[in-house]
Amino acid sequence: MMGKIVRNNKDLGEAIRLARKNKALRQVDVAQRASVRQALVSDLENGATSARLDTVIRVLAALDMDLSIVPRRKAEFNPTEY
């Protein structure tokens, strides 16, 4: 799967949902692998959570994904993107 730029909770949720569906997993399957509740996976996918970073990383790991920090292609900061 190609990398995806994530700049907000909605982008993160879409990336998690896509990865889960590409692996033909249910939310409950991801939750069990990550040792979290299924409701948290649902909240993440809907961009409606303030989950701790370590929890997000566990969910990503359950999907065989890593979090990567990279410089922006354009260096300007636009607060309306968040």
Gap between the Cα atoms of 55 and 75, Å rounded = 29
pLDDT in tens, 6-64: 889 999 999 999 999 999 999 999 999 999 999 999 999 999 878 899 999 999 999 99
pLDDT at 68 over 60: yes
Alpha carbon distance 67, 65 (integer Å): 7
Cα–Cα distance, 32 to 21 (Å, whole number): 16
The number of distinct structural domains making up the chain is 1
Residue 29 maps to which CATH number?
A: 1.10.260.40
Residue range(s) defining the domain that contains residue 56: 9-66
pTM summary value: 0.83
In a domain, 42, yes or no: yes
In a domain, 28, yes or no: yes
